[in-house]
Amino acid sequence: MLDYIQLFKDRHLFNQCTNESDLNNLLNKKNITFYIGFDATADALHAGSLVQLRVIKTLIKHGHKAIVLLGGGTTKIGDPSGKDSARKILTYEEIQNNIDNFKRIFEHYFRDHKESITFINNDEWLSTLNYIELLRDVGSHLSINRMLTFESVKERLKREQSLSFLEFNYMVLQSYDFLHLNKNHQCDLQIGGSDQWGNIILGMEIISKINKKDAFGLTTPLLTTSSGKKMGKTEQGAVWIDQKKFNSFDFYQYWRNVDDKDVEKLLLIFSDLEHSEITKIIESDINGAKKRLAFLVTSDCHSEKDAKEAEEKAISIFEKSSFEDLDVINIKKDSDKKILEVLIANQLVPSKSEAKRLIEGGAIKINDDPISDNNFEIDISCNDKVLRIGKKKLFKIKIN
């Protein structure tokens, strides 16, 4: 008998769950259907979502079936969980575009497990809900007193930040999703981020009252460093899983350059290696362990071919000091060649304020010479030289 809960804990995939013993028994008794929902508030997934994707992979490798719920309906409302203010309301066209991108990313990530994944858009039932019927059939089972105790609501009210009636209804709709999937797809388990705990519990309660069934909930932790800092950010901004938004080399380098203290935890999350093997790899060669981590995560999210190319490029640049493989920044002779404008125009940093901070900190260099002046102008003398941003981001300058 497999102890699923202990497996999740050992792999840093566990935050909390309802009735550990009963859920463990259920997972061993039969192959269940579980779901994780993703609201389409952006056009790609952030690296923090990889923890949940690893949970999906872990369960389907043991024979269970996953529903990836694309939140076409709930995105129209906006989830207040963990937020200081209301989300921006997106147009229906923007939501559909984001959902299409999400599905493409998921299909690629789960390319070896297609038969175990079902994609469903909750707009299918939420957009046709009759409000009076929802109030009669579901509203009578929901306690406002109970809903006010959930952290996502309590924190906003404690800080005296506005929580609109629109947002307050979000947890009702998420609960209804679980009810619908339990009734129509025999879905027994909802998995979500740690901020979804209250919403999951509410769904379980109405399943118990309306469907007269037991259901379960499990949440995953945030992806954080050993110091507690959220992972998934760089000087350029978010680390996106989508290759179209974050190229394979930069993605590989992000994982290659994690802190030594985080390597063991990250290999436990993002690999199937045994703990003892991970320990051996780290003890014998910490840099080798980081390369292994970067290769595995890049292979998973992009492809093995992309991971190999990124690895070879990194070796060429950082170990062999060859700049032939550097990405090129093309600067036109008649364009604004001030360093701030070059950094922003080529999307090398997310903002001018960040560019100024890097310049002031001596992190922007031409070859090995730091740039200290925000008005520094790149001229013809910089042609074929190397623009360095921090220690690990290098580009060859081409003036044309």
State residue 385 phi and psi, 5-degree precision: -85, 170
Q: pLDDT category, 80, cuts 50, 70, 90?
A: low
CA–CA distance, 40 with 95 (Å, rounded to integer): 6
The pTM of this model reads: 0.83
Query: Beta partners for 117?
Result: 66
Reference 87, options 15, 156, 36, 175; nearest CA is 156
What is the DSSP annotation of 4-33? HHHHHHHTT--SEES-HHHHHHHHHHS--E
pLDDT tens-digit profile of 212-267?
A: 999 999 999 999 998 899 998 776 678 999 999 999 999 999 999 999 999 999 99
Q: What is the dihedral of CA 113, 116, 121, 125, to 10 degrees?
A: 180
- Strand 216-220 and strand 187-193: pairing? parallel
Q: pLDDT category, 78, cuts 50, 70, 90?
A: low
CA 319 vs. chain centroid, Å, equals 30
Which are the contacts of 144, defined by CB distance < 8 A and separation ≥ 6? none
Provide the edge-to-edge strand list for the sheet that holds 187-193: 16-17, 216-220, 187-193, 33-39, 65-71, 117-121
Looking at the chain, the whole-number percentage of residues with pLDDT higher than 90 is 58
pLDDT tens-digit profile of 368-394?
A: 778 888 888 887 777 777 888 877 788
CA–CA distance, 224 with 235 (Å, rounded to integer): 17
Domains, the chain, in order of start with CATH, read: 4-220 (3.40.50.620), 247-319 (1.10.240.10), 327-399 (3.10.290.10)
State residue 136 phi and psi, 5-degree precision: -70, -50
Where would I find the beta strands (DSSP E) of the chain? 16-17, 33-39, 65-71, 117-121, 187-193, 216-220, 233-234, 237-238, 327-331, 364-366, 369-370, 386-389, 393-399
Residue whose tokens read 């490798």? 61
CB atoms within 10 A of CB 368: 7
CA distances to 11, 47, 220, 307 from 271, rounded to whole Å, are 9, 15, 17, 15
- Strand 233-234 and strand 187-193: pairing? unpaired
Quick one: tokens of 103?
A: 């599905």
pLDDT tens-digit profile of 176-197?
A: 999 999 999 999 999 999 989 9
Asked if residues 5 and 28 have their Cβ atoms less than 8 Å apart, the reply is: no
Quick one: tokens of 36?
A: 């994780």
